[in-house]
């Protein structure tokens, strides 16, 4: 099933990647919805925000099969017209699957005594 896009207009500067279906490019900060984020001061800002798609990400270091967003990069969320910042974590970045498995193991080890 093709990814459903919302009716929100996509800000200028962003293009849909034909490979992974995510947006990439450069977008003006004030064209984005910053409500609820901790970067509200960016709202009226002329600064360009770089957005990268999954293709410029990295492979999950654990399973080596899945692409994950490069830590420190920004992803555009067309559903709400906002930017998701992919944090740089002290631990190695893992795909959702591996993170779930790692979390599960952690719970089994330390959760219940
Ligand atoms: Zn892509
Ligand atoms: Zn993985």
pTM: predicted TM-score of the whole model, two decimal places: 0.75
pLDDT: is 58 or 9 the higher one?
Answer: 58
Ligand nearest to the CA of 76: 1
- pLDDT single digits (tens) 27-83: 999 899 887 666 655 566 778 999 999 999 999 999 999 999 999 999 999 989 999
Using the mean position of ligand 2's atoms as its centre, give its distance from the Cα of residue 25 in Å: 26
Using the mean position of ligand 1's atoms as its centre, give its distance from the Cα of residue 16 in Å: 8
Q: Which of 24, 28, 6 lies closest to 78 in space, CA to CA?
A: 6
Using the mean position of ligand 2's atoms as its centre, give its distance from the Cα of residue 31 in Å: 34
Alpha-helix residue ranges (DSSP H) falling in the chain: 96-110
Predicted local distance difference test score (pLDDT) of residue 25: 98
Using the mean position of ligand 1's atoms as its centre, give its distance from the Cα of residue 103 in Å: 28
Whether 5 and 78 have beta carbons less than 8 Å apart is answered as yes
Using the mean position of ligand 2's atoms as its centre, give its distance from the Cα of residue 59 in Å: 8
């Amino acid at each position: 099933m093709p990814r459903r896009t919302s009716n929100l207009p996509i800000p200028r500067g962003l293009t849909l990647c034909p490979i992974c279906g995510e947006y990439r490019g450069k977008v003006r900060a004030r064209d984005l919805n910053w409500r609820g984020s901790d970067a509200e001061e960016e709202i009226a800002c002329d600064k360009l925000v770089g957005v990268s798609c999954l293709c410029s990400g990295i492979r999950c270091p654990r399973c080596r099969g899945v692409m994950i967003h490069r830590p420190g990069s920004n992803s555009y969320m067309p559903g709400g017209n906002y930017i998701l910042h992919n944090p740089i974590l002290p631990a190695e970045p893992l795909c959702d699957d591996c993170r779930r498995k790692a979390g599960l193991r952690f719970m089994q080890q330390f959760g219940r005594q």
